[in-house]
Structure 1
Amino acid sequence: MKQLRARILGFFMLVLVLFTLLFLYLISSILQRQAIEQQGEDLQSQLLTLSSQLDATQFEDDLDLVDLQLDQTAEVITERITFISPEGEVIYDTRAQEETLENHLDRPEIQQVLEGESIGTFNRTSESTGEVLYYAATDFVNAEGELIGFLRLSKNVEEMGGLTDQFIQTLALFMVISILVALLFTNYWTKRISDPIEKMKQITERLRIQDYSSRYREHSYKEIDELGLAINHLAMNLDYQMQEINQNQTQLKELVNHLVIGVMVVDNYGNISMVNPVMNEIVGEDLYGKIGMSYEEGLHSTALIDLITRAIQERSLQNKETTLLYPEEKVVDVNVVPILNQSKETINHIVLLYDITEIRRLEKVRTDFVANVSHELRTPITAVKGFAETLLDGALEDEEVLVEFLKIIHKESTRLDLMVQDILQLSRLEQHKVRGVIQDVRIKDVADEVRNILHQKVDLKQITLNVVEKEAVVMEIDRDQLKQILINLIGNAVTYTPNKGWIGVTIDRTDHEAVITVSDNGLGIPKESQSRIFERFYRVDKARSRNAGGTGLGLAIVKWLIENNQGRITLDSEENKGSTFTIWLPLKHE
């Protein structure tokens, strides 16, 4: 802006100087010409006056009297006086010696008189004096009209324009002062215009780098201030829009980061431009460190890479359910969605991975559950039906067979009833429809109550059952649910512990949790079965479990009850050496 201001001032100064010089030249020429014309008219008037005052009769009789009479006249006027004979000989001259002067008959002013002009005028450089002179000549005749000679007056042209030169100098000084004053005012006006424009330029530069805090606060002319206010409104609108964009981007980022679906954006060149944490979790890679790299380098699944490649090449939506083998086996639903701009050109591809491993597992569990329920119900139903048919076919007459069959029917129907009750209870637990009464419960009291309930089975197998309370633990829980947890765990321990074995129940606490441990020296659970022991209807030894009267749902119910109370359960077991179940439950119910 300073350069523009300097250019404006320079251009304005150049125009003023050129205009001044041209003006001075024209004025000086006009004034010079007018001064010369004015002085010429005065000189002609003096010439006519002088011509009328001279006595032509004296000149005719005696030309020597010319000198005397013209000398008297020269004392009065300052102009050069010359008297020339009709033949062109200079008879008298106030500035030069007559003998040194050549014939003047050919002088332009003399020729003009000879041609009939009353007064001949001309200005030129004098050959005798070397000055630029203005000449005025007229004929001098006697009473009879005969030409006696030529009378000529001349005056220095510089003297004639001297007053004009002074005027021009004064005018030039005035013009210089005017230029300086004009430059001062122009400098002020350009500064008043350029400074606000420079400020606007700075504001727009800051707007370009997305700094919307700058505002125009200068004071200039109305039109410039209106432009500055328009820039302020633009900055405020951009600031508001940028805040909205940042807020939307933040919301979008938070939304993407908290989605349960893995999200990855791949640009048109196949480079990864964005990922969310779930994507890293699903593919088992830290893709944040691979942003800007090709998706083929960042991913290890050939099926996933092929699907993205096909979407980029065909520019179409791709969907497929595939299995990822690294770092662990997962079933994912893959969607590769092309993102189009307004010109319908693909600019990005969004890769969406939905981990459906748990869904497929639950579907399998549900299928297995239906199959297991059908199988488990079929066994007692088949037994009841078979023995009832046998009795109806004639076994009623044999009292011993009748009693035996009725006992079997009663046993199987009881088992069927327990199974149905467990299924219904597990269903209610899964649907969170179980509402317990939360109260302060001492765990030792519930454990003693369970021991009393199971004492017949314990005494029958001569099992040693010890309940050890390392510290009195009182917790907030539904008493019946805690009782059912302990009945199932201790009951299973009694069932799978051989005669004269031992079972230990230990009660302890941490700062925020109650810790209950149920241990035995029973059959134990093989390593390959420990991860599935809490599944419904899963049995390590199915024949032994059925003979023991189990439904296969006890540990599944235990797990649901514990998890519904914000707790957890672990198993540590070794085959033929026993098992240890450890329960952690919060002391305060949430």
Structure 2
Amino acid sequence: MKKLQFRIISILMTVFVIFSICIGFFSTQLLQDYAVESQEEGLVEQAIMAGSSLDGVAKDPSDFLNLKQEASVLKQHTKHRVTLIALDGTVVYDSAKQSPALENHRNREEVQAVLTGKPQGTDLRKSNSTNETLFYVARPVLDQAGEAIGVFRLAKPLAEMKQLNSQIRNSILTFSVLALVLATGITFLITKRIANPIEEVMDVAKNLSDKQYSSRYSGKGYGEVAKLGATINGLAESLQEQMQEIDQNEERLNELINHLVIGVMLLDEQRNIQRVNPVMCRILGMDSNELLGQSYADVTKSYGLSHLIEKTYRKKEMQNKEIYFYYPAERIVDANIVPIAGKNKGDMNLIVLLYDITEIRRLEKVRTDFVTNASHELKTPVTALKGFSETLLDGAMEDKDVLKQFLEIMLAESSRLDLLVNDILELSKLEQKQVPIAYEEVRVKDAVLSTFKLVKQKAEQKQITMEFIEEEEVNIEADSGRLKQILANLIDNAVIYTQAGGNIVVTLKKKEEHAIISISDNGMGIPEDELNRIFERFYRVDKARSRNSGGTGLGLSIVKYLVENFNGTIAVQSKAGLGTTFTLTFPIRHF
């Protein structure tokens, strides 16, 4: 039996037993008293009726002794103890004892009551002759003249009178037991109909508290229990919907935090890390499993960040500062520390937001360097044009040879200025992806051989041999003109920076779904410490030679952006004095 049903039955049975005992006790007492009183009254009536049969039989008191025979007959009819007592208290006849053996009864209460003129007398006492407790009823015996000539008495044992009480008590006990069994059966059936649905409702409520929100009440109750089941089902549905919404919001929040470009870290009031996103892990150089549950002071290697966090805990105000990280990598981060309320009242948690602005600062420096370099590159031809113009205006134009020389120089400088401006504009358009690209199927071999023709004269002047090795014929989807521009820039650089008598090798091969173009020379090479800067604008390894060759310093930057526009990559390998190899990788599209 389930606990609830057992408790209900136990309570109801306890109450039933208590009430049964109380009602049985009081009803037994009441019935016993009523039974005794009824028997007493019956004995009184019987005594009056039996005694009346003796009235008028005797003529005078002397004839009282002749009533023994009548008394013995009455004994057979009444089945009670019959006694005849003279007016002086002498026992004339007794159905239980021989009259001579009995003492004088004049002082008995019932006898005294009759002798004093009462119609009957009663008493309850223990008999000296039989040692039984008897109930006595006495009445006067009258002669023919209507005078009292003696006393007629009936006696009945109290035990016999109480025998009915025992029967009443046994009947009540039997009825109570049967009622208890019947009540238990009925209570069991009723409580089963009540307790089972309630137990199921309790099970559903417990499942809901254990976060099993799919649990439902499906029992068949009635009345208020059915309403309770419907209510608990409504609550379960509401909780399930709310938890689904919470889970969805939590999932969205996790996705949002995990895909932020800002590092996020949550600290509790104990200064332990409760949450981090991948960007924060990357900034701190540790895995999330190594960070969660740890004190921020043990995992952050930045004094500036630790100081800023402690300042936020102390002042309970948002803090912002640009901080430098030197471990695990050099970074510049914009740190924002935001205090928020914790789970418990008075607790304060912190959200640490780190935005890596290293690249931004680098680009700002690149932009600054670009402005500086552009100004420097533009200043040279502008200064030359201004100087030669002033010289000509001061009278040098009168000399035709000088005029022609100066005009040739001015034309060269203006051409260089025009080339520089065009390259700057071209680079700007490439950065903003505003250069139109007409994609078509391009045979890489044709683009390489066409480029060879462009630089053939310059290569022959330096006696440089150019070789093309095609391991496998490859076609790619690209802009033919832009691809030739990339190849021309790299092969032209190879010719420029390769000593006379050198050689240049262009290799074409296919690797998986990519075309690999390698341009190698055995020229002057590039120092290893400068390899990571050669794609910067206006950066020159050999500044004097590059400028004298007519270069603007923007060629490799333009090449890099063009390659990226084709979804390709460019890499360089070089050692000073041993030559350089540029490797271009382009995805192959199937036609």
Q: Which category describes the TM-score, using the shorter chain as reference length?
A: over 0.9
Q: Distance in 2 between matches of 1:264 and 1:372?
A: 41
Q: Distance in 2 between matches of 1:345 and 1:295?
A: 21
Instruction: Name the CA shift for 1:515/1:62 in 2 (closer, same or farther; >3 Å).
Output: closer
**Superposition deviation, residue 24 in structure 1:** 4.2
Instruction: Name the CA shift for 1:73/1:258 in 2 (closer, same or farther; >3 Å).
Output: closer
Aligned 8 A contact 2:55 2:143 in 1 = no
Instruction: Name the CA shift for 1:385/1:258 in 2 (closer, same or farther; >3 Å).
Output: same
**Superposition deviation, residue 266 in structure 1:** 0.3
Tell me the residue number matched to 1:204. Answer: 205
Tell me the residue number matched to 1:391. Answer: 392
Q: Distance in 2 between matches of 1:74 and 1:587?
A: 139
Tell me the residue number matched to 2:189. Answer: 188
TM-score, normalised relative to structure 2: 0.94
* Equivalences, count: 588
Q: Secondary structure at the match of 1:454?
A: helix
Tell me the residue number matched to 2:431. Answer: 430
Q: Deviations over 1:10-45 (max 9, x none)?
A: 413422531452254134324313422331332232
Aligned 8 A contact 2:466 2:505 in 1 = yes
Tell me the residue number matched to 1:121. Answer: 122
Q: Secondary structure at the match of 1:519?
A: strand
Instruction: Name the CA shift for 1:504/1:64 in 2 (closer, same or farther; >3 Å).
Output: closer
Asked whether 1:112 is paired with 2:101, we answer: no
**Superposition deviation, residue 72 in structure 1:** 4.2
1:411 maps to a residue whose letter is A
Asked whether 1:510 is paired with 2:497, we answer: no
Q: Distance in 2 between matches of 1:152 and 1:140?
A: 10
Instruction: Name the CA shift for 1:72/1:544 in 2 (closer, same or farther; >3 Å).
Output: closer
Asked whether 1:494 is paired with 2:529, we answer: no
Tell me the residue number matched to 1:377. Answer: 378
TM-score, normalised relative to structure 1: 0.94
Q: Deviations over 1:343-377 (max 9, x none)?
A: 98443211111000011111111111111111100
Choose the corresponding residue for 2:53, options 27, 41, 50.
Answer: 50
Q: Distance in 2 between matches of 1:287 and 1:532?
A: 34
Q: Deviations over 1:97-122 (max 9, x none)?
A: 11221221111101222333111112
Range with greater deviation from structure 2 (7-16 or 281-290): 7-16
Tell me the residue number matched to 1:414. Answer: 415
Where in structure 2 are the equivalents of 1:400-549 lying within 5 Å?
Answer: 400-549=401-550
Tell me the residue number matched to 1:289. Answer: 290
Tell me the residue number matched to 1:31. Answer: 34
**Superposition deviation, residue 552 in structure 1:** 0.3
Q: Distance in 1 between matches of 2:499 and 2:73?
A: 175
Instruction: Name the CA shift for 1:77/1:531 in 2 (closer, same or farther; >3 Å).
Output: closer
Tell me the residue number matched to 1:178. Answer: 179
Q: Deviations over 1:406-442 (max 9, x none)?
A: 1211111111111011111101100101111111111
**Superposition deviation, residue 500 in structure 1:** 2.1
Aligned 8 A contact 2:468 2:505 in 1 = yes
Q: Deviations over 1:129-166 (max 9, x none)?
A: 22332211123355667653322222334445656655
1:489 maps to a residue whose letter is L
Aligned 8 A contact 2:82 2:152 in 1 = yes
Q: Distance in 2 between matches of 1:430 and 1:307?
A: 37
Instruction: Name the CA shift for 1:165/1:46 in 2 (closer, same or farther; >3 Å).
Output: farther
Aligned 8 A contact 2:5 2:192 in 1 = no
Q: Deviations over 1:220-248 (max 9, x none)?
A: 33111111111111111111111111111
RMSD: 2.2
Structure 2 alignment gaps of length 5 or more = none
Range with greater deviation from structure 2 (8-17 or 292-301): 8-17
Q: Secondary structure at the match of 1:210?
A: coil
Q: Distance in 1 between matches of 2:234 and 2:18?
A: 39
1:44 maps to a residue whose letter is A
Range with greater deviation from structure 2 (183-192 or 127-136): 127-136
Where in structure 2 are the equivalents of 1:2-21 lying within 5 Å?
Answer: 2-21=5-24
Q: Distance in 1 between matches of 2:170 and 2:530?
A: 121
Where in structure 2 are the equivalents of 1:36-435 lying within 5 Å?
Answer: 36-57=39-60, 60-62=61-63, 64-142=65-143, 147-160=148-161, 166=167, 169-340=170-341, 345-435=346-436
**Superposition deviation, residue 172 in structure 1:** 4.3
Aligned 8 A contact 1:35 1:164 in 2 = no
Aligned 8 A contact 2:537 2:554 in 1 = yes
Aligned 8 A contact 2:64 2:149 in 1 = no
Aligned 8 A contact 2:570 2:585 in 1 = yes
Q: Distance in 2 between matches of 1:32 and 1:124?
A: 18
Q: Distance in 2 between matches of 1:406 and 1:254?
A: 66
Aligned 8 A contact 1:321 1:332 in 2 = yes
2:210 maps to a residue whose letter is I
Q: Distance in 1 between matches of 2:169 and 2:346?
A: 77
1:15 maps to a residue whose letter is I
Tell me the residue number matched to 1:556. Answer: 557
1:509 maps to a residue whose letter is K
2:366 maps to a residue whose letter is V
1:359 maps to a residue whose letter is I
**Superposition deviation, residue 589 in structure 1:** 8.8
Q: Secondary structure at the match of 1:451?
A: helix
Q: Secondary structure at the match of 2:564?
A: helix
Q: Distance in 1 between matches of 2:221 and 2:328?
A: 69
**Superposition deviation, residue 575 in structure 1:** 1.1
Aligned 8 A contact 2:141 2:149 in 1 = yes
**Superposition deviation, residue 69 in structure 1:** 4.0
Q: Distance in 2 between matches of 1:145 and 1:222?
A: 79
